[in-house]
Amino acid sequence: MAWWYLGTGIVTIDGHPPIIINHVETVMIYDAATLPNEAYRIPWWEIGIFRDPITGELPESWVNPLTGRTIEPARKFEEGPSGFSVRQKAGGGVEIFDAVQAFAQLESAEVTFSDLGSRVCITQTERKRRAFPEKDGIPDLTENTGSQAHTVLQWTASKADLASDLASVPATGMYSLNIATPSWLGFDGYDARFAIAGIMHKAPMNAPLNPRGWAQLQQQFPHYFTDGRIVPRWS
């Protein structure tokens, strides 16, 4: 299945309104394999592009509004192969184990459930050390490139759909990422805080949820597309 992530990058500095840096459009590609003892392995890949906040196109440059400097920004990234396993905990609930993520070191992950009447809400909270995309993609994780990140993924699905025989049920949600302000943004000397917030939407592998985004992702990552479908790369 494919999850589309559509968000906005924002820098917050005391004394100034929030500064919109870019818009982010990514597709995360997931699979699921059954393991023994009612556990599941979920491998994933992610491909993504950044959009200029003015033109909506892949950015060629960005002007820092506080310094006036013209910055060469991040334009795209590819992350994977990655994956994690899930299983039911004794006494109820779900736990994540054996998590591996390219360009990141997971420190903790928690999954919780809440009842929304006719819907179920799932919240996945992750704390990790990770590298953030730069103009040439995501750098290898080192002491200099990595920083602490706090990610919250939350999605909902219909109880009726979950009780059906559907192999994959419709779902939608929202997410947030808080991480150190990327150095390439040029906010040295400022107490700058960086975050991305957006929406998530689940879609089949052949559904161009955003046709414009689909076309641009295909242009940047042609090896992920064949005959009108997104094609995973699990190895």
CATH classification at residue 162 = 2.40.128
Nearest residue to 201 (alpha-carbon basis) of 167, 235, 159, 153: 153
Number of domains in the chain: 1
Domain that holds residue 34: 2-225
Residue 230 lies in a domain: no
pTM metric for this prediction: 0.93
Buried-state track 46-59, b at ≥16 Cβ within 10 A, e below 16: bbbbbbbeeeeebb
Query: Per-residue pLDDT averaged across 162-180, rounded?
Result: 96
CA atoms lying within 13 Å on the CB side of residue 219 = 11
Is 231 within the bounds of a domain?
Answer: no
Burial class (CB in 10 A: 0-12, 13-18, 19+), 103: buried
**Which residues have a Cβ under 8 Å from the Cβ of 231 and sit 6 or more positions away?**
205, 223, 224, 225
Rounded Cα distance between 218 and 92, Å, is 41
Within-domain flag for 166: yes
User: What are the pLDDT digits (tens) for 178-201?
Assistant: 999 999 999 999 999 999 999 999
pLDDT single digits (tens) 68-108:
999 999 999 999 999 999 999 888 889 999 999 999 999 99
Residue 122, token pair as written in the block: 């799932």
Decide if 52 is inside a domain. yes
User: Is residue 234 in a domain?
Assistant: no
Q: Is residue 34 part of a domain?
A: yes
Tell me if 61 is assigned to some domain. yes
**Position 233 in a domain:** no
